[in-house]
A and B are shown apart, each in its own frame.
Chain A
Amino acid sequence: MTAMVELRDVHKSFGSLHVLRGVDLDVRRGEVLVILGPSGSGKSTLLRTINHLEKVERGTVRVDGELLGYRRSGDRLYELPERDILRQRTKIGFVFQNFNLFAHLSVRQNITEAPRSAQRRPPAEVEALATRLLDRVGLADKAEAYPRTLSGGQQQRVAIARALALEPKVLLFDEPTSALDPELVGEVLAVVRDLAGGGTTMIVVTHEIGFAREVADTVAFMDGGRILEHGPPAQVLDRPAHERTRAFLSKVL
């Protein structure tokens, strides 16, 4: 069985800063992977390469077998035209730390925009989908509200519904609860947990160790632009092989 997400020797630099130093990663269909690691370890950058928000400089990213952002011909990778990259992105949902909801559009419009303009699906179908998704994240009564009037937790749940509206093959979460007040973290994690139970392939960058232990199928620990270890939560969290992982866990637990 092929991996849903497959990274091979991925490198990325910002100027002289070498952020990703050869990352290999396989995420199976339906797997929930939680990535842990200290700030600046490259977790977010790694996540952003998976939907080509950051271009990979060396190595390859494949989602559901399709090479992302490039077309291979012989020993060269040619960057795809933007149109193809946008099409690939509709198969990959992304949830941001700061929600990034469109402030001038209502909750409903936030959800229907991409299915309408990126996937060209019929309006009636998309409206029904938005209603269903809002119901699923527990915000059926907020369809006509503007994002600013919602709490952080509610905004993040709308952002998750917006990502789900494209019916993606994989969902990426970039520290989805880091910008939230502590008492709002639970409601967002409940939605993510619900999705995990439903068999969605997910990669979650987070600092919530308890969530990782409970929901993750596998946990990866990153440091210095590399994945130091990757395995079941019980192994990585309770019997880490690396000194770095132990030091990190002792600080956050």
Chain B
Amino acid sequence: MTLPGTRAEAAAERLPGEAAPKVVTAPHPLRRLAALGVLVLLAMAASALITNPAWEWDVVGQYLFAPSVLRSVVLTLHLTALGIVLGFALGTVLALMRLSPNRLLAGVAFGYVWLFRSVPLILQLLFWYNLALLYPRLSFGVPFGPGFFDIGTMDLISPLAAAALGLALHQAAYAAEIVRGGLLSVDPGQREAAAALGIPRARRFLRIILPQAMRTIVPNAGNEIIGLVKGTSVVYVMALPELFYQVQVIYNRNGRVMALLLVAAIWYIALTTVLSVAQYYVERHYGRGRS
């Protein structure tokens, strides 16, 4: 006994020796036409890039691996790394403060995020760069009490330190929200089960909660890191020879504006591509057990 439409019935309809009928999918002529149109546009774009000598691909090739450009790429990476590591470290502390039952801690974290998200990055950077105008000397010691030593602000905060500080403090505001969102995304039952098992607090956070929060944190953090790679170009206002500042210096000297902007663009694309690939693997790592 078989139900209608089963394979047994279909087979019974066939004559002996006849093959099973082939499935033919319906044609989509408009879809094909659209694809053809896009292909033409792509070809036109490629031709415009390659055939127009004004792009000066030879100049691009000449500067792509020039020592001064490579040094600026290293500085860009250096600033990105400092901004992300310090930013997420401070951001995690802020996220934990924000989730604290203590109102003052939560309030201060809220205020920090509010302030540093509200002021444009370029203003923050100029502020740190010019900190010496406000406080020529910084003193370390007992709060409101005697100082142990003091130091000139200009000596302590170099342009590089000011840039890293500015990027990190700005990044921390965004990182705090990302980490907080990640921590809140973990089922409260996980925290409760860990507490019921008597697992120590720090271990509970690092071993049980944070790895699960990472599933939500990593995609957003990936956005932030890639954003910061490009965001470091704002640092050119502080005359730090990172990638964007360096190509400007070169094209101001030789006038090959488009070629050098292309050099910078190629490097930014290369760096963000590497980061995107890394993000894929990190996400896969933290997605284990979820399929």
Complex A-B: 10 CB contacts under 8 Å: A86-B195, A89-B198, A90-B197, A96-B196, A102-B208, A104-B286, A117-B199, A146-B289, A148-B290, A166-B197
Q: Give the size range of B's interface with the partner.
A: 20 to 34
- Residues on A facing B (Cβ under 8 Å): 51, 53, 82-83, 86-90, 92, 94, 96, 98, 100-106, 113-114, 117-119, 146-149, 162-163, 166
How far apart are the CA atoms of A82 and B205 in the complex, in Å? 15
What is the chain B residue whose CB lies nearest that of A118? B198
- Residues on B facing A (Cβ under 8 Å): 187, 189-190, 192-201, 203, 207-208, 211-212, 286, 288-291
**B190 touches which one: A87, A88, A102 (CB < 8 A)?**
A102
Name the A residues within 8 Å of B201 (CB-CB).
82
Cross-chain contact B196 with A89 (CB below 8 angstroms): yes
Q: Which of B197, B208, B290 has the most CB of A within 10 A?
A: B197
How far apart are the CA atoms of A101 and B291 in the complex, in Å? 16
Name the A residues within 8 Å of B198 (CB-CB).
86-90, 114, 118-119, 166
How far apart are the CA atoms of A141 and B89 in the complex, in Å? 41
- State the main secondary structure of chain B at its contact with A: helix
Known A-B contacts A102-B190, A147-B289; the reply to A51 vs B196 at CB < 8 A is: yes
How far apart are the CA atoms of A124 and B198 in the complex, in Å? 20
How far apart are the CA atoms of A90 and B187 in the complex, in Å? 22
How far apart are the CA atoms of A118 and B288 in the complex, in Å? 24
What is the chain B residue whose CB lies nearest that of A159? B193
Given contacts A89-B196, A104-B289, 4 further A-B contacts (CB under 8 A): A87-B198, A92-B196, A103-B289, A118-B197
Name the B residues within 8 Å of A148 (CB-CB).
289-291
Known A-B contacts A104-B212, A148-B291; the reply to A117 vs B195 at CB < 8 A is: no
How far apart are the CA atoms of A25 and B196 in the complex, in Å? 21
Name the B residues within 8 Å of A90 (CB-CB).
197-198
Name the A residues within 8 Å of B291 (CB-CB).
148-149
Name the A residues within 8 Å of B212 (CB-CB).
102-104
A203 nearest CB across to chain B (Å) = 14
Name the B residues within 8 Å of A96 (CB-CB).
189, 192-193, 196
How far apart are the CA atoms of A65 and B183 in the complex, in Å? 37
